Homo-oligomer: A and B are copies of this chain.
Amino acid sequence: MAELYNMAGHLIRRLNQISVAVFTDHMAAAGIDLTQVQFAALSAIASRPGMTQAELAGAIAYDVTTLGGVVDRLASKGNIRRDISPRDRRARVLFITPDGDHLLARARPVVRALQDDILGGLDAEERAQLLALLRKTTDAGNSKSRAPLRTP
């Protein structure tokens, strides 16, 4: 079982756990009501207004079902607007509200600042190295994750 601690899956789960905890703590300290997932969604919507939920899911690698709930919460908090697409009545187009925009502006510097906290034990060079490796792995693993592309 000692080997468990050296397994990629286990270490990744642990790191994600730490990452989420750091995010939650910093946001709570700043008095901002946004989860990691909600922040990512809000950022994406702000950068490309009018996205549909499916497009958003693809952009940030989420499951569409999960995203439904996330979008619901953002909408009910008034951070985004969700309208029926004029071009496809099945689709919902997403827009950030002035309220959401303001919240995002407050959140952004906090999120930037906490990134280094996630990788607490590493020096600058190691952080850069880790980030590069993470990017490379996730880019390659893209096709393997079925999150945005569900197999029927």
- On A, residues with C-beta under 8 Å from B are 1-2, 4-23, 25, 36, 40, 43-44, 46-48, 60-61, 111, 114-115, 117-122, 126-127, 129-131, 133-142, 144-147
| Cross-chain contact A14 with B138 (CB below 8 angstroms) | yes
Assembly of this chain: how many copies? Answer: 2
Cβ of A20 to closest chain B Cβ, rounded Å: 8
Residues in B whose Cβ lies below 8 Å from that of A40: 4, 10
A40 CA to B122 CA in the complex, in Å?
A: 26
Given A9-B19, A13-B19, A46-B1, A120:B133 Cβ within 8 A: no
Majority-rule SS of A interface residues: helix
Residues in B whose Cβ lies below 8 Å from that of A60: 4, 10
Chain B: which residue is nearest A5 at the CB level? B135
A141 CA to B10 CA in the complex, in Å?
A: 14
Interface centre among A19, A48, A136, A146 (most CB of B within 10 A): A19
